[in-house]
A and B are shown apart, each in its own frame.
Chain A
Amino acid sequence: MARSDTKTADKAQRPGEGRIAMLLLAPTMIVMTVVGLYPLLHSLYISLTNYNPTFGGGSSLVWFENYARAFSDPQFWNAVGLTLIFTAVSVTASLVLAVALSVLFNQRHPGFVVLRTIILVPMLITPIAVGITWRVMMMPDLGVLNYLLGLIGIPPQLWASNASTALLSVILVDIWQWTPFMFLIVFAGISSLPKSPFEAAAIDGASPLRAFFSITLPMLKPVIVIATLLRIVDAFRTYDTVYIITRGGPDFATDLVSVYLQRVNFRFFDLGYGSALSWLTLIIVLLVVLIFVRLTGFMKLVADKENR
């Protein structure tokens, strides 16, 4: 596709239209530079200063002092570790759930379309509203979750109010909110798979389980990889629900990177240090994405797709 693309573009483009293309691209480039790139570079500069508006607004260059401080900041690395756990558990769980749901709903019995549409709703609810709702439901004394657990004989839980279950609780909320997103994409992939490999496998006597692992999963790989990559990027920046449900507590058990950064920046106004931490976070996100891309051969998948 990529190569033939250039050819058709050559044909579509008439003499003297080279400038039109630049003109069409210009607004996007300007917005990207002014609103995207410039603030980013500005933050790189701030990260090398000790800027803190509560001390009168003056600032002086301290070079890499903020970065050195970051490396010996246990709070920051606690936040990074929690965010990595949060992302890994939430994304894995929602991927497994989404694949299972996709196989189930691919059976297409009457009424499944309606149920499928209902399942999509959580990803559309404003994250702040998701946080509010789950916080109400997880109240240890009045919450409906403990009531429902009691009906099936499970003792009441402390949910987000206890340091040992808080992280799992906010992960549960994230899984609830974003499995629909994975499900939507994986289901689209599964329902566009060709029928013939499955028919051939059935004739050869392969069990449905075998067919799932040897045909369905490999053929779904490109779709799963794209959905997972988008989810990883988003899970890493989770803020809204955790801010509403726990604000990073109890005892820093859910202190994700974005929650910690919010505290550094807008409670202590330590903006120089906060910028340094932001840049470290950005580098960590890029590393995670890079590792994922390497492990899954993402670029090759994209290239294959273009050539198909």
Chain B
Amino acid sequence: MASQKPLLSRAIKLAAAYALALIATAFFAFPVFWMSSSSFKSELDISQYPPVWSFAPTFENYAKLASELDAFDAFVNSAVIVGLATTLAMVCGTMAAYALARFDVKGKEVIAFEVLSIRMLPPIVSVIPMFIIARALGIFDTYWLLAAAYGLAGLPFVVWVMRVFIQDIPQSIEEAAMIDGCSRFQTFWRVTLPLLLPGLAATMVIVFMFAWNEFLLASMLTSQNAKTLPVIAANAIKPKAIAWGLASAAGVVMSLPVVVLVLMMQRYLVRGLTLGAVKG
């Protein structure tokens, strides 16, 4: 009997742990489930009370995305803008990260912290000058403006995270290649870069996520031609007639790429989000 008691209390503890974990998961998962299921509901089903849990799924909201919200154009806009921004941030940032990791640069900590300070800058502060400058240059409501803004926002992540990833690669590997006659560039291209690929991919996903999800700058710096997905999704919400099913479908379409990509890169997520400060 003596060994029964700890066994029983262990079983209770185990059950409690599972119960708590399931409750927590339900809290975080329920709104996502509700958004997804709402996106498949017909207009009649979505305004039922009490809410309906089983219904005949319909794709009419997804069909309406293209016809009523111009979602296809917005998807292309988002893809082009985020693609340009990610490329800009990755290329510039990785070059800078390599310099900071491998070269003896004067005041490199100062440079690193200047880059980091971009992460602190609230976008609402730079939106007015960008608006004014863009109108003066005639690039308001074009891809270039948002791509530049998102590229800048991505830089601190790339510089700080890639710097850590580059430092993780032993110096001696590069030295060996250089002794064998490779130039600095050949060494980077043939030796360092292949080793960096997982880190590059992980950092890219984070830059992509922030640019893809951004709304504030996108809503204020576009009007017709360069509207991104979050902007058209917000447009589905009009004060009087709110198309809930349509808005939910837009939410699913927007969020899906990020969820899939980030969960694929989960291993490096912590390091990326903390700008290299915490090892995942």
Which residues of A line the B interface, CB within 8 A?
2, 5-6, 8-14, 17-18, 20-22, 24-25, 27-29, 31-32, 34-36, 38-40, 42-43, 46, 51, 101, 104-105, 107, 109, 111-112, 115, 117-122, 124-130, 132-137, 141-142, 144, 147, 176, 179-181, 184-185, 188-189, 192, 223, 226-227, 230, 233, 236-237, 239-240, 243-244, 257-258, 261-262, 265-266, 271, 274-275, 278-279, 281-282, 285-286, 289, 302, 305
Contacts and interface: CB of A to CB of B under 8 A. Distances in A.
Contact of A189 (B102, B244, B254, B278): B278
B6 interface: no
B21 A122 contact: no
Contacts of B148: 31, 34-35
A187 to B, nearest CB: 8
A246 B167 CA distance: 46
- In terms of DSSP, what is the predominant structure of the interface of chain A? helix
Interface residues of B, number: 100
Contacts of A271: 128, 131-132
B119 A233 contact: yes
B115 A32 contact: yes
A255 B115 CA distance: 31
B122 A120 contact: no
Contacts of B258: 124-126
Contacts of B277: 226, 302, 305
A124 B259 contact: yes
A132 B35 contact: yes
A278 B187 CA distance: 46
Contacts of B47: 142
B129 A39 contact: yes
Interface in B148-177: 148-149, 151-152, 155, 159, 167, 171, 174-175
Contacts of B122: 236-237, 258, 278, 281-282, 285
Nearest to B47: A142
A289 B120 contact: yes
A192 B35 CA distance: 35
B120 A233 contact: yes
Interface in B72-112: 88, 91-93, 95-96, 98-105, 109, 111
Interface string B251-280: 110110011001100100110011001111
Contact of A125 (B22, B32, B215): B32
Given A20-B103, A28-B115, A184-B273, A126 B212 contact: yes
Contact of A104 (B17, B102, B128, B251): B17
Interface of B: 14, 17-18, 20-22, 24-25, 27-29, 31-32, 34-35, 38, 47-51, 88, 91-93, 95-96, 98-105, 109, 111, 114-115, 118-133, 148-149, 151-152, 155, 159, 167, 171, 174-175, 178, 184, 209, 212-213, 215-216, 220, 229-230, 233-234, 236-237, 244, 247-248, 250-252, 254-255, 258-259, 262-263, 266, 269-270, 273-274, 277-280
Contacts of A181: 273
Contact of A43 (B29, B48, B125): B125
Nearest to A261: B124
Given A35-B152, A36-B126, A129-B255, 17 more contacts: A9-B103, A24-B96, A25-B95, A25-B100, A31-B148, A38-B133, A40-B126, A42-B133, A43-B129, A115-B22, A121-B259, A124-B259, A135-B237, A227-B274, A240-B216, A285-B120, A289-B120
- Of the candidates A12, A261, A262, A281, the one having the most CB atoms from chain B within 10 angstroms of its own CB is A12
A66 B260 CA distance: 47
A262 B95 contact: no
A41 to B, nearest CB: 8
Most buried by A among B20, B215, B266: B215
Contact of A136 (B92, B129, B248): B248
Given A39-B129, A127-B215, A147-B49, A107 B17 contact: yes
A117 B248 contact: no
A123 B139 CA distance: 32
A22 B250 CA distance: 45
Contacts of A12: 102-103, 171, 174-175
A100 B157 CA distance: 28
A133 B105 contact: no
Nearest to B37: A144
B104 A6 contact: yes
Nearest to A271: B128
A236 B101 CA distance: 32
A6 B248 CA distance: 52
Contacts of B133: 38-39, 42
Contacts of A11: 171
A181 B236 CA distance: 28
Contacts of B109: 2
